[in-house]
């Protein structure tokens, strides 16, 4: 299997990943967590787990997701707060019918909410 490498600022190291990974969600999609009561908009995707070992080990072992799957960076919201979340693909569900996400950083990255998803600001697209 072909592999590729990328540097992860969160992990502080180079990560090896399959050259081809299938992500079920895209930047701008609105999703909700499968087990916990929060939702968010995806603003970045890692092809495999690319956070710190401390973060990974802090997840209880009985619900710790496998590393070899896409992980998503979300501008997340719950009933009482807004934050940035890092979630495995297996723990996300589509929430496009839930409406826009009320997170203070959404407008820095996205412009407009249409048909259940956000459109990235033109200046940030590449």
Quote the CA–CA distance of 75 and 67 in Å, as a whole number.
Answer: 21
* Residue 104, pLDDT score: 95
**Mean pLDDT value across the chain:** 91
* Residue 9, pLDDT score: 80
66-122: pLDDT as tens digits: 999 999 999 999 999 999 999 999 999 999 888 999 999 999 999 989 989 999 998
pTM over 0.75: yes
Q: Is the pLDDT of residue 18 over 80?
A: no
- Structure token digits, residue 49: 């787990």
DSSP assignment string, 60-98:
-GGGPPPSSS-EEEEEEE-SS-EEEEEEEGGGEEE-GGG
Q: With cut-offs at 50, 70 and 90, classify the pLDDT of residue 21.
A: confident
Domain extents in the chain: 3-124
Q: Is the pLDDT of residue 19 over 70?
A: yes
Angle, CA 72 vertex, CA 67 and CA 78 arms, to 5°: 120
Whole-number percent of the chain with pLDDT over 70: 98
Q: Which CATH number fits domain 3-124: 3.30.300.30, 2.30.30.390, 2.40.37.10, 1.10.10.350?
A: 2.30.30.390
Q: Is the pLDDT of residue 126 over 70?
A: no
């Amino acid at each position: 299997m072909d592999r590729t490498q990328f540097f992860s600022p969160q992990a502080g190291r180079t990560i090896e990943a399959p050259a081809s990974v299938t992500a079920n969600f895209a930047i701008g999609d609105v999703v909700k967590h499968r087990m916990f009561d929060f939702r968010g908009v995806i603003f970045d995707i890692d092809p495999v787990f690319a956070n710190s070992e401390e973060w990974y080990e802090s997840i209880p072992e009985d619900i710790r997701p496998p590393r070899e799957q896409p992980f998503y960076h979300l501008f997340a919201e719950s009933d009482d707060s807004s934050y940035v979340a890092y979630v495995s693909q297996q723990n996300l569900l589509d929430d496009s019918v839930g409406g826009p996400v009320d997170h203070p950083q959404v407008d820095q990255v996205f412009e407009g909410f249409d048909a259940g998803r956000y459109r990235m600001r033109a200046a940030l697209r590449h």
